[in-house]
Amino acid sequence: MAVFRKETWQMSGKAKHALGNLLAAADIEINGGRPWDFQVHDEILYGRVLSGGSLALGEAYMDGWWDTGSLSQFFEHIFNARLDEQFQHSPAMLLLELKCRIFNRQSRSRAHIIGDRHYDAGNDLFTRMLDPQMVYSCGYWRDAETLEQAQTAKLDLTCRKLGLKPGMKLLDIGCGWGSLVKYAAENYGVKALGITVSTEQAKLGRERCEGLPVEIRLEDYRSIRGQFDRIASIGMIEHVGKKNYRSFMRVASQSLCPGGLFLLQTIGSLKSQHSSDPWIDKYIFPNSMLPSISQLSRAAEPQWIIEDLHNFGPDYDLTLMAWHANFVRAWPELTKHYDQRFFRMWTYYLMQFAASFRSNRNQLWQIVLAKRPRAQPYLATR
């Protein structure tokens, strides 16, 4: 945690005025009485945020320098007013952008960083936050009333879009704790391989799939060998990076039998970019970025036919709010292994993402791709 002294910000009055004007454009008032208003606990905050951008804003929240009655509503106002774009030229943002343009931050040698730092955070955390099937991606809420129903509906929707049949071989690239491969083996009679870069996911996933025709490997996607009738990748390409989209699509193509289908689910950005938010990169998803439709379609062009594109982004808002409710409810048990700073960090992450979908700043796409040549027409499933 950085240490800030009051004399560092000699212009705190001007900084407060400048930040207040920015927030006012999003209908946010400093120390106001509405749930989304900005409650400041230390006057040094203003200069810290103006000079450090989104990274400083997030770290200051973790440090307890500010609060709001509803973080999701605060970020909803921020995103609707596009106020986050005012901080795209902060030093942290520019440095991250430079790194992403120069280096391949998602290379094979760095593939396990995201597993080590996020997905290995603790199975005790994720088992309490997620639904019983351990699905760590967007649920499908069209006919659902609970998180468990929404996640079951999403798993079944995925299997139906892939046209799974008994005896098929399914590959899940980025299988998490094995939710899809387990569901597909139990309900559609397939044999399945799931790969993950998280040691803890692989360990628990194997336990959960014991007795089923399912194998879970600790493996990077670039090491995949063999042929499969169907491939799915749900919430994993966000960790692949722009420099590797073509190689990811090529690996999937090489691994898929002729006439096969590939379902790709991803959080999507409305515009093409090279990096993520500095706070997200540092504390939540290191070396990750959200793809745009144009980036994915360019990467898919040589090998794939895009058969279906299904956007259900608003469902991620509901999913994230349900995860947060579970997290808060389980917090008394989780305090054995996590401190208050982690609680604020994790809440900030979940609420910021919920607001991004509520305000349509982020999308959630399920894309069905067919390997060329494909003889049979594809009928879209909802």
Whole-number Å distance between alpha carbons of 209 and 180: 10
Give the residue with greater pLDDT, 4 vs 317: 317
pLDDT in tens, 214-224: 999 999 999 99
Per-residue pLDDT at 3 exceeds 60: no
Say yes or no: 54 and 121 in one domain: no
pLDDT at 198 over 90: yes
**290 domain-assigned:** yes
Q: State the average pLDDT over residues 149-171.
A: 98
Q: Does residue 104 form part of some domain?
A: no
Residues 68, 181, single domain; the answer is no
Report if residue 93 sits inside a domain: no
318 with 195, same domain: the answer is yes
Residues 209 and 303 in one domain: yes
Residue 217 lies in a domain: yes
Q: Is 316 in contact with 266 (CB distance < 8 Å)? A: no
Residue 167 lies in a domain: yes
Residues 346 and 59: their CA atoms lie apart, in Å, by 12
What's the pLDDT score for residue 116?
84
- The residue-averaged pLDDT of 235-263 equals 95
pLDDT interval class at 373 (50, 70, 90): confident
* pLDDT score recorded for residue 12: 62
46 and 129, same structural domain? Answer: no
> How many whole angstroms separate alpha carbon 308 and alpha carbon 320?
25
Q: What share of the chain is helix, strand, coil (3-state, %, to 5)?
A: 50, 15, 35
Taking the C-alpha atoms of residue 224 and residue 233, their distance in angstroms, rounded to an integer, is 13
Give the total number of structural domains in the chain: 2
| 144 shares a domain with 66 | no
Residue 285 shares a structural domain with residue 206: yes
Instruction: Kindly state whether residues 74 and 134 are assigned to the same domain.
Output: no
Q: What is the pLDDT of residue 11?
A: 54
Average pLDDT, the chain: 92
Residue 5 has a pLDDT of 45
Do the domain assignments include residue 382? no
Q: Give the DSSP H or E segment for 250.
A: helix 245-255
Q: For residue 2, what pLDDT is reported?
A: 42
In a shared domain, residues 146 and 258:
yes
Domain assignment of residue 211, yes or no = yes
Q: Is residue 250 part of a domain?
A: yes
Long-range contacts of 249-252 (CB under 8 A, 24+ apart): 249/299, 249/300, 249/302, 249/303, 249/304, 250/302, 250/303, 251/221, 251/222, 251/224, 252/173
Final residue before a domain boundary, out of 42, 72, 87: 87
Alpha carbon distances (Å) from 47 to 12, 36, 52, 235, 329: 6, 21, 8, 36, 35
Q: Contact, 118 vs 342, CB < 8 A?
A: no
Q: Which residue has the tokens 């879970």?
A: 216
238: CATH: 3.40.50.150
pLDDT, one tens digit per residue, over 40-80 is 999 899 999 998 999 999 999 999 999 999 999 999 999 99
Q: Are residues 40 and 127 in the same domain?
A: no
- 342 and 237 assigned to the same domain: yes
Tokens for 299?
A: 């990467």
Instruction: State how beta strands 304-311 and 191-196 pair.
Output: unpaired
Residue 374 has pLDDT above 80, yes or no: no
Judge if 339 and 264 occupy the same domain.
Answer: yes
Range of the domain at 25: 6-87
Q: If we measure between CA atoms, which residue out of 198, 176, 157, 146 comes closest to residue 323? A: 146
Q: Which residue do the tokens 């943002």 mark?
A: 93
- Looking at the predicted structure, is the pLDDT value of residue 154 above 60? yes
